Amino acid sequence: MNAGPRLSARSQGSPQRHPWVIVPGIWDSDPDHWQSRWQAEPGVEAVRTAPTSWSDPDPADWSQALSRAVASASRPPVLVAHSLGVLAVTDWLVTHGDRVAGAFLVAPPDPDAPSFPTAAQGFRAPTARVSTPTALVVSDDDPYCSADRATGFAAALGAEVLRVGARQHVNVASGVGRWDEGRQLLAAFEERC
């Protein structure tokens, strides 16, 4: 795979401040997704959640997979979630937030939107404030969640909002590639954890 230009040491977070737990959305993140690319960077300490219900997501299974991944980290990690993974994380943080250093959440889907996958109907919009340092990355033209709805989720969580402009769902289809901008946002967020 062509990794493209190297990131600066600053944007790579060298040395990495916290291990990461990668929490993909429905169907997992393929090798070209920014989550997979970041996880594959040399020197990165990261583990990916491994629920058994990728294509027919069960919230309890995803929560258990998240707990297992966090427990396997060498020290309190930063959760790096995308899409449906964001909803799994926000629910998990309510009771387990003391186990992690922070949560970097990208492109949440809106469970009340018509575009929300029928298979994921058990997942809920965030409604509870969390004490964990949390940043919610919001795209202005995400087809799965309006920017207003996403900023409402952030307000409910007590999360910092990071607006990234028109990046659609911040995935392979949106053309962000390795998403260096996001990697820099994560490095800056880790400094605040």
pLDDT of residue 15: 60
Query: Which of the residue ranges 13-22, 40-49, 90-99 would you say has the lowest mean pLDDT?
Result: 13-22
pLDDT of residue 12: 44
Share of the chain above pLDDT 90, in %: 92
pLDDT of residue 57: 97
pLDDT of residue 16: 82
Packing angle of the helix pair 59-72, 84-96 (nearest 10 deg): 70
Q: Please check whether residue 120 is in contact with residue 58, taking contact to mean a CB–CB distance below 8 angstroms.
A: no
- Cα–Cα nearest to 80, from 125, 16, 142: 16
Confidence (pTM): 0.92
Share of the chain above pLDDT 70, in %: 92
Cα(157)–Cα(174) distance, integer angstroms:
26
Q: In what order do the strands lie in the sheet with 46-48?
A: 46-48, 20-23, 78-82, 102-106, 134-138, 160-163
